[in-house]
Structures are given as structure tokens and as C-alpha cells.
A and B are shown apart, each in its own frame.
Chain A
Amino acid sequence: MFFSFFAELREAKVPVSLREYLTLMEAMQKRVVTFDIEEFYFLARTALVKDERHLDRFDRVFAQCFKGIEARADPQTAIPESWLRKIAERFLTPEEKQLIETLGGWEQLMETLRQRLAEQRSRHQGGNKWIGTAGTSPFGAFGYNPEGVRIGQHESRNRSAVKVWDRREFRNLDDTVELGTRNIKLALRRLRQFAREGAAEELDLDGTVKSTAHNAGWLDLRLVPERHNVVKLLLFLDVGGSMEDHVRICEELFSAARSEFKHLIHFYFHNCVYDWVWRDSRRRHAEQVPVMELLRTYDRRYRIVLVGDASMSPYEIEKEGGSVERWNDEPGEVWLRRLFDAYPRAVWLNPVPEKHWTGTASIGMIRRITEDRMFPLTLDGIDRAMRRLKRRG
């Protein structure tokens, strides 16, 4: 029973195991819920999903399995077709439905919509092409176009019209999509580790009392080394140029990072690291630090994280004098290698979505130089990067 559902969940990368499946079966057998699809959905969700990040994926699989909706190649832009169909049917008059034909019929409309959704990334309002609110485009809410398809309007979200799992309320908890300060903090915390380091010099009062008591009263002093957070991090942020779009996300990363480490020292660079980096992004020329000095100052135990889109002209990486800021005697590649050699635990975080990486030559080059230690700037990517930072090389 429901085995294909279980298989589909695994397919969609919701980590379910046999144990959870059996739990669900057991709950069904014990009649925890009656024959009600909504209750069954709640039960399946509580039994099979163990992390809010997977709730959205679960909803999609559930809708697909129990309603026969086709899967989309790109889950981020998937809107259940029947959902749209239903809404359109509710809101369109027969005349309007005829008008749909003017755009080449229903199939055509859906196809165009799918394309637009794929092209469009940000919220949009007004205008006549993109999907958003209050425009004259066929797509979006509160519009005037009779061919209009309504998306995400309040009426369409009320309880009776749309099934719970189709509402996709947990969408922004999916870790491959959004990145908030809290999310980053969580991921960075993975890196935090406390350790007892140095000479045993702090009196361990509890330990002393305990071992003295166990010793039947003979004093047995116990000492422990001091405990502190040992993770030290150098953070390199790319500023200016193509990174302007990503500055906000970087700042968030930066503000989240601050409290998690023993030492966090940040530097700024532009496009690629050369012989100099800056301490302050606004006063580039006043506070320069030679990278050589940096390598001498901070030992191998520091971890380094570079944040940059790695999108530049290939010359900026492989040629002397390639830097757009100033003359460099040695190419950026040499400096990058030096940095990655000096610090065995290093990663590059890239705000450009992973699927677009193959399109830019310089990204490929930097991935090669960093030995594939480039990760996307999503929660999942940071997670992978932090795990990578834990081990050497």
C-alpha cells in the first residue's frame, strides 16, 4: 500500500526510510485517522517528514501521487496545472474562455506561462509582460486582460478552493531556495566547535568533588584545560562590479558569521585575489594588506571562505596585469593557488545558481584552481561547504 508514493518521495530526495514507512502503516492500522484524505495527508506528513525544509517537496510529491499531476523539470517554478485550471475555470466566463483561443488556446497559454515563470525571478508589479499583480499581462492577479490567469491571489488561497498540499505553504523553508540570516547562522554553526586546548590549568571543581568522593575521601584534584571556540576564519568578500547584485546576500552572510567564531577577519577583493586585499570596502586604497603578509600572519589552522561570483574575463585570472584595479605582476591564478595551498581548509562560495556555472568560463577555471571546492550560496551549499571546511585538503 502506498509503496509508489514512498518510492516517489525518495526520488524527490525527501529522506524517508523503511522505518518511517512502517510507522505510517502502523498508524493506518491503528486507525489514527479515518478515511479522510486531508487527515491522511497530515498523518503522512508527520510520520514521513522530519525536517521543515522537506515539507514543500513532500507537498509536491503528495499532490502528484494522489492527483496525477505531471512533474515539472524545474521544481522551483512548478505550479500544479490543475490548480491553475481550476482557478481559471472559476473566474473565467464562457466568453473569456473563448478569448483564450486568441492566445492560441489553453495549452498555449500554459506553455507561455511556464516559460515566463522560468524567465522571471523577482516579484513584479505593473507592466505588461511579466507575472505579477495589477498589470495587463495575461498572467498575474488583479489584471485586466481577459485571458488572464490568476496566480497567488487571496481568493485562490482560501480553504475550499485549493487542497492543503497544493497551497505549498512551506515553500520558503526549502533549503535550496532561500537564504535568510537565521538559515545561514544555522549552517555556519556547523563549523563551530569547542575544544579544550592548551595546558590543564583550570580547576575542575565538579570533577574534583566527584573523584574525591569516589576515592572515599582522599583529596583528588582534577584540572582541565580552558574551553573555547577554536574555529578561526578568514573571510574574503568580492565587492563591486558584477557582485553588486549579491552584496545584500553577502552582507547577511557576514553579519551572521560574526558571532560564530573565535576569530573572524574579513577582507575584500575585486573579482579575483591578487597581491593585495583590502580591510575596508569603502577605503580600498587606504587600507591595503599584502596577501604575502596575510600568509605569514595567519597560520594553517585558519579556514578561509571566499565569497564571489567568479564571473570575469578569463584574462583577469590567467594573465599578468589582468586585474582591473591595478597592475599585478603575477596572474590571479598564482595568487589563488598560493592561498589555497597555504590554507588546506578553504572554500569558495558562489551566489550564482549552480545550474548556470557551466555557462561562464571563469567559473570553470576557478573551480579547477580550487579543486572543485566551489559551492553555491544557498543553505544547502553552505552546509556542504562547511562540511568540507571541517576536513583538510
Chain B
Amino acid sequence: MLRFEGTDTYVVTQDLQVAVNAAIALERPLLVKGEPGTGKTILAHEVARGIARDLITWHIKSTTKAQQGLYEYDAVSRLRDGQLGDERVHDIANYIVPGKLWEAFEAPEAPVLLIDEIDKADIEFPNDLLLELDRMEFYVYETRRTIQARQRPIVIITSNNEKELPDAFLRRCFFHYIRFPDRETMQRIIDVHYPDLKHELVHEALTIFYDIRQIPGLKKKPSTSELLDWIKLLLVEDIPPEALKTRDAAKLIPPLHGALLKNEEDVHLFERLAFLHRRERGGS
């Protein structure tokens, strides 16, 4: 049986691994939720790599319709061909453009299909895909043909929780909520991404990172992807670990904090706290 065990660039926790393997074994879609930046989209990429299958991604926008994932009828080019007297015009099948789902159904070996940010679409979007994802087939009206999946693709769906998904849809999926990684897991994630990083630097960076996440009232807490970016910047700028270690009141704001705090108000909040802290120190 096909099993996903994580890859050399992705740290997978045991609970996530069970969820992915359940979805693979039972051929049901896996719905992944979690804080932004905890690696939801990357998961699909890594699953595809881990089990050596192709990845087909379908990014959802607010204007995406379920039908676009199945197929589209290109009436405009047919019209143009008709006016130019092209022979192709007599067969309507020439103007049916397959969508991502069709592509996944027709693949010779079951691929991984990523439906990214399903909550961005219209509220009816998941409902429109119920039957297609359940039975893995659909009907093309123009050519009167039913498209059936050769093998059921491994479907991974991500959501940022902007809209509630309908119950009927949820019932057909496995669900996993990616929790924010604890320090130990985070250390492993960093090791995987920057294997020959000075241990000290990682330690200091993690301390600052978790300290910042502790600040109450932050609009957007920094996440894993921001931490990785920040460490990359620290490396590029060649900041020594000592610079992070300093608990000197005058330099409480960590270097290159722009990578961690993405919101103006958060930066202000942080600076204000640092200022208060400094004043306290000065007074005592």
C-alpha cells in the first residue's frame, strides 16, 4: 500500500501522517486547515514528491466556478473557425477545453490534485463539486460523454477558513488541522531547511520568535514561513548569534524584524513595548 512518510524537506508530524495515509488508502479528499504559513499548500507538493506522483494544482479565486475545473466550451474560437471556414468547426469536441479535474481523471497514474484555498470561491462552489469528488466522474453535455477517473486521484484541499464549508461536503472528506509547531518540531523544520546553520543562531532566533508570538494583541502572529524567511535574511546579512543574544535594553528590537512582523500596527506595538521596557529598566 502507498504510504507517505514525509520527505527530506518537509517535517511531518505523526497526526498529519496518519491523516494523509488515511486519505490515500480510502481515496477520499483530505481537507487541510490551519494558521496561514503552517505549510498547507506545501503539503500537497511534498506528498506528490514523497509518493512519486504528478501534482496538478488548481488555485481557487473568488471568481472561480466549479465548472471551470471540469471543462469549458470555447464558443468564441468555434465562431472564429466557422467564419474562416476551418474544417475543425464541425466537431464540437474540438472546442471543449478540459479543466484541472478532467486532467487529473485522465492521467495514466493517479496524480495528487491540490485544490488550493477552496474558501476563496463562492459559497456554492464546494456543493457543485460534491458528486464529482465523490464518484470521480462527470458528464459533458456538449459531447454527451461521461468522463470517469481512471484511478481516483489523491485530492488535497486547503482552506483558510474565510467561509464555512457545507456539511455535505465535509462529510466526504478527511479533515486535518495543522497546529502551530512546538519548539521541538520547529527546530526540526529549521534543520531540514538550513542544515548547516550554527546551532546557537537557531537557538537565539527561536527564542526571539516564540517571544514575539507571545506578545498579546498582535494582529498577525509570525508563522513558520516567516521564521524561515527571517533566518534566511539573518544568514544573508551575516548577523552573528551574539547580536540576537543581546538583552541590552537599548537594542531590544531584533535585527530585520520586518520579516517577522508584517503589519504596521504590530511593529508600532512592538516598538512601544520595547520602549516601555527600556524605560522601566532605566528607572530601576
Given A49-B175, A169-B179: A186 and B19 interface contact (C-beta under 8 Å)? no
Are A50 and B173 in contact, CB atoms less than 8 angstroms apart?
yes
Q: Smallest Cβ distance from A311 to chain B, in angstroms?
A: 27
Q: Which residues of B contact A214 (CB under 8 A)?
A: 75
The residue in chain A whose Cβ has the minimal distance to the Cβ of B173 is A50
Q: Which residues of A contact B1 (CB under 8 A)?
A: 30
Q: Is B176 an interface position by the 8 A CB rule?
A: yes
Can you report 19 residue pairs joining A to B where beta carbons are below 8 Å apart?
Answer: A15-B167, A19-B172, A23-B26, A26-B26, A27-B25, A30-B25, A38-B14, A43-B22, A45-B15, A50-B170, A50-B171, A51-B175, A169-B179, A170-B177, A186-B162, A186-B164, A210-B76, A213-B76, A217-B83
Within 8 A of B (CB), among A292-332: none
Q: Which residues of B contact A38 (CB under 8 A)?
A: 14
A47→B30 CA distance, assembly (Å): 10
Q: Smallest Cβ distance from B189 to chain A, in angstroms?
A: 18
Q: Is A128 an interface position by the 8 A CB rule?
A: no
Are A23 and B162 in contact, CB atoms less than 8 angstroms apart?
no
Q: Is B194 an interface position by the 8 A CB rule?
A: no
Within 8 A of B (CB), among A42-79: 42-43, 45-47, 49-52, 55
Given A52-B177, A170-B177: A32 and B161 interface contact (C-beta under 8 Å)? no
- Interface bits A136-170 vs B (CB < 8 Å: 1, else 0): 00000000000000000000000000001000011
A46→B22 CA distance, assembly (Å): 8
A20→B177 CA distance, assembly (Å): 17
Q: Is A189 an interface position by the 8 A CB rule?
A: yes
Q: Which residues of A contact B21 (CB under 8 A)?
A: 32
Q: Is B40 an interface position by the 8 A CB rule?
A: no
The residue in chain B whose Cβ has the minimal distance to the Cβ of A213 is B75
Q: Can you list the 6 inter-chain pairs with the closest CB atoms, starting with the nearest?
A: A213-B75, A42-B18, A50-B170, A46-B19, A42-B15, A52-B177
Q: Is B140 an interface position by the 8 A CB rule?
A: no
Given A30-B25, A210-B75: A46 and B163 interface contact (C-beta under 8 Å)? no
Q: Smallest Cβ distance from A157 to chain B, in angstroms?
A: 9
Chain A contacts to B: CB under 8 angstroms: 15, 17, 19-20, 23, 26-27, 30, 32-33, 38-39, 42-43, 45-47, 49-52, 55, 164, 169-170, 173, 186, 189-190, 209-210, 212-214, 216-217
A32→B18 CA distance, assembly (Å): 8
Chain B contacts to A: CB under 8 angstroms: 1, 14-15, 18-19, 21-23, 25-26, 28, 30-31, 33, 75-76, 78-79, 82-83, 161-164, 167, 170-177, 179
Given A27-B26, A55-B177: A46 and B82 interface contact (C-beta under 8 Å)? no
Are A46 and B79 in contact, CB atoms less than 8 angstroms apart?
no
Are B174 and A47 in contact, CB atoms less than 8 angstroms apart?
yes
- The residue among A30, A32, A170, A212 with the most chain B CB atoms within 10 A of its own CB is A32
Are B78 and A213 in contact, CB atoms less than 8 angstroms apart?
yes
Q: Smallest Cβ distance from A346 to chain B, in angstroms?
A: 23
A17→B170 CA distance, assembly (Å): 11
Are A46 and B176 in contact, CB atoms less than 8 angstroms apart?
yes
With A30-B1, A52-B177 given, can you name 19 additional A-B contacts, CB distance below 8 Å?
Answer: A15-B167, A17-B171, A20-B171, A30-B26, A32-B26, A38-B14, A42-B19, A46-B18, A46-B30, A46-B176, A50-B167, A50-B170, A51-B175, A186-B161, A186-B162, A210-B75, A213-B75, A213-B78, A216-B79
A52→B1 CA distance, assembly (Å): 29
The residue in chain B whose Cβ has the minimal distance to the Cβ of A383 is B164
Q: Smallest Cβ distance from B263 to chain A, in angstroms?
A: 12
Are B18 and A43 in contact, CB atoms less than 8 angstroms apart?
yes
Are B163 and A189 in contact, CB atoms less than 8 angstroms apart?
yes
Q: Which residues of B contact A52 (CB under 8 A)?
A: 33, 177
Are A32 and B22 in contact, CB atoms less than 8 angstroms apart?
yes
Are A39 and B18 in contact, CB atoms less than 8 angstroms apart?
yes
Are B26 and A39 in contact, CB atoms less than 8 angstroms apart?
no
A212→B79 CA distance, assembly (Å): 9
Q: Which residues of A contact B15 (CB under 8 A)?
A: 42, 45-46, 164
